[in-house]
Homo-oligomer: A and B are copies of this chain.
Amino acid sequence: MRQAGRSLPEYRAIRGGGTILDAIQDPDLSTELSLQPVRRYGVDAAILYSDIVVPAFAVGFGLTVTPGIGPEVEHPFRRRDDLGRLRPLDPEADTPYVVQTVRQLVADLEVPLIGFAGAPFTVASYLVEGRPSKDHAVAKALMLSDEMLWHDLLDRLADLAVASLMSQIDAGVSAVQLFDSWAGSLSPAQYRRYVLPHSQKVLSAIGSTGVPRIHFGVTTGEFLGQIGEAGADVVGVDWRVPLREARRRVGQGRALQGNLDPTAVLAGLPAALAATRDVLAENAGHPGHVFNLGHGVIPTSDPDILTEITRCVHAEGRTDGPTA
């Protein structure tokens, strides 16, 4: 469960007042923040505490993540000259704290660790818009008006993601997740033309390592097949698409991740468990399913309800183990 930590009192107790980039640059703090949700919920995997803008930040693009707002860029990406601000990432030199955090986590954890990177489109949206955006209008206008510059930008961002994920794999992560949170603002034709080749570049580079690849998005229902085609072993599905329908669109040979509506967690225990059981029923015992929320954990979520959801999935959702 991504962002599972931020609803925890123990998270708020140690997170401190700095930005998330400050926390990420402190391996001991990041290690602890990654461990907290695993300890609390007993989930079956941990995810690296990170942010999708880390590589762009680390190569000096000039951005921060403002608490309560999100990524903010002093000089947004607008022209060909700006490509020069996205030099290749040297993970050992530029993000030693990421490598260190992964090593510590792999040593400490009894469950697999999932690595973390932003997909080219979603990172591009922040770099072009300069701040979080509802419609990604400035980024999409650049995409539609200057296709060559767009592809050059996404190619650089793909390289950053590959370098970061490879360093995480070298340091011991058991799987990786590529976050394309805002790709769902695109039409299927736009995704195919302007985004798919770049996400494919990232995921096929990782494919050579044999490490499983999770590919996450929201409101991507119309092109779930392409999200899979990009090279994912596991395709993230939000709550808008029933799992049965998602399986039809994604096709055989790929697993699904999702798709509990995060707002169900706020509705009290009976409603949250009913929604959990609906997801399990929709999955109908198919083994290719990673139970998860369909998007990040909402900060006001009650940790005890997340604990009960995890218990419910362990008790009722396993079809290949002793409880089946």
Contacting pair A184 B240 (CB below 8 A): yes
Is A66 positioned at the interface, with any CB of B under 8 Å from its CB?
A: no
- B interface footprint on A190-217 (CB within 8 Å = 1, 0 otherwise): 1000000000000000000000000000
Chain B min CB distance to A70 (Å): 11
How far does the alpha carbon of A271 sit from the alpha carbon of B135 in the complex, in Å?
18
Q: Which of A28-36, A159-167, A257-265 contacts B (4 or more CB under 8 A)?
A: A257-265
Is A241 positioned at the interface, with any CB of B under 8 Å from its CB?
A: yes
Chain B residues within an 8 Å CB radius of A295: 135
How far does the alpha carbon of A119 sit from the alpha carbon of B93 in the complex, in Å?
54
Which of B145, B188, B266, B267 is close to A271, meaning CB atoms less than 8 Å apart?
B145
Is A247 positioned at the interface, with any CB of B under 8 Å from its CB?
A: no
Which of B189, B241, B263 is close to A144, meaning CB atoms less than 8 Å apart?
B263
Task: Find residues 149-187 in chain A having any chain B CB closer than 8 Å to their own CB.
Answer: 184, 186-187
Chain B residues within an 8 Å CB radius of A245: 222
Task: Find residues 211-262 in chain A having any chain B CB closer than 8 Å to their own CB.
Answer: 219, 221-222, 239-242, 245, 261-262
Contacting pair A241 B222 (CB below 8 A): yes
How far does the alpha carbon of A298 sit from the alpha carbon of B189 in the complex, in Å?
21
Chain A residue total in the interface (Cβ 8 A):
38
Contacting pair B144 A187 (CB below 8 A): no
- B interface footprint on A108-129 (CB within 8 Å = 1, 0 otherwise): 0000000000000000000000
Closest residue of chain B to A143 (Cβ to Cβ) is B267
Is A289 positioned at the interface, with any CB of B under 8 Å from its CB?
A: no
Is A47 positioned at the interface, with any CB of B under 8 Å from its CB?
A: no
How far does the alpha carbon of A269 sit from the alpha carbon of B252 in the complex, in Å?
42
Q: Which label, helix, strand, loop or mixed, suits the secondary structure of the A interface?
A: helix
Closest residue of chain B to A278 (Cβ to Cβ) is B189
Say yes or no: A137-B240 contact (C-beta < 8 A), given A144-B264, A187-B261: no
Which of B135, B184, B266 is close to A263, meaning CB atoms less than 8 Å apart?
B135
Q: How many copies does the complex hold?
A: 2
Chain B residues within an 8 Å CB radius of A300: 137
Chain B residues within an 8 Å CB radius of A141: 263-264, 266-268, 271
How far does the alpha carbon of A178 sit from the alpha carbon of B15 in the complex, in Å?
45
Chain B min CB distance to A218 (Å): 9
Which of B135, B264, B266 is close to A262, meaning CB atoms less than 8 Å apart?
B135
Is A131 positioned at the interface, with any CB of B under 8 Å from its CB?
A: no
Is A313 positioned at the interface, with any CB of B under 8 Å from its CB?
A: no
Contacting pair B261 A140 (CB below 8 A): yes
Is A138 positioned at the interface, with any CB of B under 8 Å from its CB?
A: yes
Contacting pair B298 A267 (CB below 8 A): no
Which of B138, B143, B240, B267 is close to A187, meaning CB atoms less than 8 Å apart?
B240
Complex A-B, nearest 9 residue pairs according to Cβ-Cβ distance, in ascending order: A144-B267, A141-B266, A140-B263, A145-B267, A144-B271, A141-B267, A137-B263, A145-B268, A187-B239
Known interface pairs A140-B261, A219-B240; 4 further A-B residue pairs with C-beta atoms within 8 A, sorted by A's residue number: A135-B262, A137-B263, A144-B264, A221-B222
9 contacts between A and B (CB under 8 A): A135-B262, A137-B263, A143-B267, A144-B267, A144-B271, A184-B219, A188-B242, A219-B240, A222-B241
